[in-house]
Structure 1
Amino acid sequence: MVIERGFAGTRIADVAKRLNVSNSLIHYHFDSKEALLAAAFEYYARKDLSEMERDIELGQSATAQLWRLIESYVPEGSDDVEWMLWIDAWGEALRNPLMKSISQQLDEQSIGFLERVLRRGNETGEFRCDQPRISAMRITALIDGLAVQFAAHEGVVKRKELMRTLRALAAFETGLSPDDIRDGKRSSRPTSTRVTAPAVAPVGTAPTALTDAALRHLVATIADAQLRGDVSTWVASWTAAGEIQMHDASTAKGVDQLADVFAKHYAADRWTLQSPEIVLFVVDEAGGTASGRITVTERFQRRNGAVGARIATLHDRYERGPAGWLVAARRYEVLD
């Protein structure tokens, strides 16, 4: 009934009628409608989480358990009634203190499942996750956010794209490759063997709010120029000796060669849209340098009308000059 009408639209009289009992019997067991709905949600959600936990335990390794958890967590489609119930419960929690408390407990339990799997991977040596608790919170937060878009807004994001993004984040948090996460197989070592070293070593500290905003603006300016086919703005975002390595291993250095890269890889398409999913900056404020690792979902349309999508990571190095921050180097790595 709650799935049909939502928490706000469900009345005690409706519940009593469905159960063929009197309103007074419902009131005898529950002080209010809010208490009734909170109890119903808790029962349903804990049952859902118990099934998830049993499924996770079937994994033969921490990596397999990580993938099982992600797969079982993500909604199957826009008509996934379990997820619609969770989404409705989050909204109800804003008005119902009992629902808020239960919702928070259940969210903590979900994070706890993931944290336990990440710690197990550290213990067995399958991968390395430096901050299991923080990583678990990041992964569940991304799942929740994308799942709301996927379940509530049909067509905004496809499940395949959602899973690729989550696989990329799980790989980022564990030092594995996305293929390791997908297949549930253990790598021979914590870091992927198919990915070369980053363009720069992450030396420095987290950026100040002002620097973080400036670097994000720079990354967005480049992505916007790619979308609009604006080679002038794109090239102007690089240092004079800026260099790039594309996913096909081709390289370029300097303004003229960068313009050639733009013409080959971006202007040749009708449009290319980069959406950042994970952004990490490390900054040496005193030295005026920074490095960045940005995982993006990239969608594009060819001149022949064909469309496609992929997940990529941008390994960047930045330098600060009189005109502000500019890109000094970028390595473009396609993850899937």
Structure 2
Amino acid sequence: MRRSAARRVEVLAAAGEVVAARGADGTRFTDVTAATGVGVSTLQYYFGTREDMLIAVFRHAAQQEFDAVTARLERVTGPWERLLTVAEHLTGAVGDEASWRLWVESWRWALRDPGVRADVLGDYRRWHELLAAEIAAGGFGSGAAPIDTARQVLALIDGLALPVVLGDPAFSRAAARDLLSDGLSRLVRTS
């Protein structure tokens, strides 16, 4: 990777942290400049407009999350453990919730931007397909089509992740993890 391309990726990661902390509407080029030391003119060269930078941040973050889960799955062999690995990663029951904050910001933008909407729906399709493949490979006996079960699983994940991301004091990561495991086992009928 050329140096400028590598630097752009570094800037995207740092800009993602800024967006996660400030929100997309509250993020300006100057905020990213303060976090990265990269001048506004360089950010404009990399991305064009502030909106284009935010869209690039959303795309980068989504790809990073998918890559992270794929890497984690390479180290897991059991079917239940693989399914739980994907689900726990997506709920934020493990790790930090910065990626979830970016995901929520991308949802907000998707409501008013058809391009971002297509990206978000494409990301959902990828997660549905990954979950469906793990459900099918695991031979789980829910009786439903794996893609339908995957949609239910992702709905469970979204519902459990939101209180974690919001920092609900009555809902810990451990509680999310326990409810996730229980709900997931019911959806795929492992017990």
Q: Same fold (TM over 0.5)?
A: yes
Look up the match of 1:90: 107
Corresponding residue to 1:72 among 73, 89, 105: 89
Residue 133 (structure 1) aligned with residue 147 (structure 2): yes
The one-letter code sitting in structure 2 at the alignment partner of 1:93 is: A
Q: Which residue pairs with 2:176 in the alignment? A: 162
1:2 counterpart = 2:11: no
Please, which of 110, 116, 125 is the counterpart of residue 108 of structure 1?
Answer: 125
CA distance, structure 1, for counterparts of residue 189 and residue 94 of structure 2 = 29
How many residues end up aligned between the 2 structures? Answer: 173
Partner of 1:175: 189
* Matching residue's letter, 1:50: D
Give the Cα–Cα distance (whole angstroms) in 1 for the partners of residues 125 and 174 of structure 2.
Answer: 27
SS at 2:24 equivalent:
helix
Cα offset, 1:52, TM superposition: 0.8
Matches within 5 A, 1:1-336: 1-76=18-93, 80-122=97-139, 127-129=140-142, 130-177=144-191
Percent identity of equivalent pairs = 25
Q: Is the 8 Å Cα contact of residues 78 and 150 (structure 1) preserved in structure 2?
A: no
- Aligned-partner residue type, residue 90 of structure 1: W
Cα pair 1:118 1:132 within 8 Å, conserved: yes
- Contact kept? 1:150, 1:158, Cα under 8 Å: yes
Of the two, which has the highest radius of gyration?
1
| C-alpha distance in 1 between matches for 2:170 and 2:102 | 20
Match of 2:13 in 1: none
How far has the Cα of 1:104 moved from its partner? Answer: 2.0
Q: CA deviation at 1:146?
A: 1.7
- Counterparts of 1:21 and 1:158 in 2: how far apart (Å)? 37
Contact kept in structure 1, 2:93 and 2:174, CA below 8 Å = no
- Note the alpha carbon deviations across 1:44-85, whole angstroms, 9 max, x for none: 221121111121232222222112222222214796322222
Between Structure 1 and Structure 2, the one with more helix by share is 2
The CA distance in 2 between the partners of 1:155 and 1:96, in whole Å, is 33
- Aligned-residue Cα RMSD (Å) equals 2.4
SS in 2 for 1:59: coil
- Distance in 2 between the 1:137 and 1:109 partners? 11
Amino acid of the structure 2 residue aligned with 1:169: G
The amino acid of 1:32's aligned partner reads T
What do the CA deviations read for 1:18-43 (whole angstroms, capped 9, x no partner)?
A: 44444344334434222111112211
Structure 1 regions of 5+ residues with no counterpart?
Answer: 178-336
The structure where strand makes up a greater share of residues is 1
> What is the alpha-carbon distance in structure 2 between the residues aligned to residue 116 and residue 100 of structure 1?
24
Cα distance change, pair 22–55 in 1 and its aligned pair in 2 (3 A):
closer
Cα drift, residue 105 of structure 1: 1.8
Q: Show CA shifts across 1:229-261 (max 9, x none).
A: xxxxxxxxxxxxxxxxxxxxxxxxxxxxxxxxx
User: Deviation digits for residues 192-230 of structure 1, max 9, x if unmatched?
Assistant: xxxxxxxxxxxxxxxxxxxxxxxxxxxxxxxxxxxxxxx
Distance 1:50 1:78 in 2: 15
